[in-house]
Amino acid sequence: MMKNNEHNALAGHLAIAGAYAIFGLNIVFCKDIANSEAVPPVVLFTLRAIGASALFWLISLFMPKEKIAPGDFPKIAAASFVGLFVPQMTFLLAISMATSIDTAILSTLGPIFTMFFAFLFLKEPITGKKAGGVALSFAGVLFLILNSVHEGGAAASSPLGIILLLLNSLSFALYLGLFRPLISRYSVVTFMKWTFLFSLLLSLPFSAKGLLHTDFSAIPVLVRWEIGYLIIFATFVAYFLIPYGQKHLRPTLVSMYTYLQPIIAAAVSIWSGLDVLTWQKCLATVLIVGGVVLVSRSRAAQPPQTV
């Protein structure tokens, strides 16, 4: 029979693989939602926050009550801004400016930025492998940006779109580096119900007008299904799976599953005709992913203890 540790490790692998498979498909669906122009990005973010908040708060009713220390509420609000509001808003804004494959490729930079924050906050040395991996990945990003400038047509990525995607990875890496001690103090449901509630409150001043003027009855049926997928699977389910996997796998192994996103997004977007595969994208993928792999093979960072 499978030993308990082996069983937990297998469950962790399946959880993380499932989460990043969901994210890979979500890239394609968000691209389709953006192309439909049926829902503004800030309104889409608010719908996502409403749905996730409602689901997490509903589940919390059936779980043991967990109190938040009064001093942690401002920290949770800050974590919500850095870890949810900024990353998701930049992603939803960028998705209309970048192709699905480019979006997936740039999503692999999270471990690179996390390495920098580990150095800044933990004084963890940057080894030769880490420095080489950063240089290789950023060479890939630069190559992707330069080639995106010369591409034409609606399916091309703009430099602004790529910058927004870089901010997306940067913000979420900052969230992981600064707030991991805070996250570890509470259960996943308790922490997520408050972070999504704060992100909802943050978005309302920007989305209230759009919510009132959006004609939801005119949204195509397929786009409605895609929005449902975004809310239920890419937000609610994924935020259950990732913390579970982190309990049973080393951070390096967890980060490796990021590479599922470009594979899944590329396959689906090319199959559906939303994107095309070029040698430039292939080369950029090799450079970026190769750099992340090199960093992942270096000494693992210790958990941050800053909040």
The string of pLDDT tens digits covering residues 245-290 is 766 666 555 666 776 676 676 677 677 776 676 777 788 778 877 7
User: What is the pLDDT confidence band of residue 145, given thresholds at 50, 70 and 90?
Assistant: low
* pLDDT (0 to 100) of residue 305: 47
User: What is the pLDDT confidence band of residue 137, given thresholds at 50, 70 and 90?
Assistant: confident
Task: Choose between 150 and 157: higher pLDDT.
Answer: 157
User: Residue 125 is encoded by which pair of tokens?
Assistant: 């040395």
Task: Choose between 141 and 286: higher pLDDT.
Answer: 286
* pLDDT (0 to 100) of residue 303: 41
pLDDT at 301 over 60: no
* pLDDT (0 to 100) of residue 181: 76
**Cα 227 to the center of its chain, rounded Å:** 16
**pLDDT of 194-232, one tens digit each?**
999 999 999 999 899 999 988 888 899 999 999 999 999
Of the candidates 306, 278, 246, the one whose C-alpha atom is nearest the C-alpha of residue 105 is 278
What number is the average pLDDT over the span 168-188? 81
Tokens 């299904």 correspond to 225
* pLDDT (0 to 100) of residue 86: 94
**pLDDT of 79-115, one tens digit each?**
999 988 998 899 888 877 877 667 767 777 777 777 7
pLDDT at 73 over 90: yes
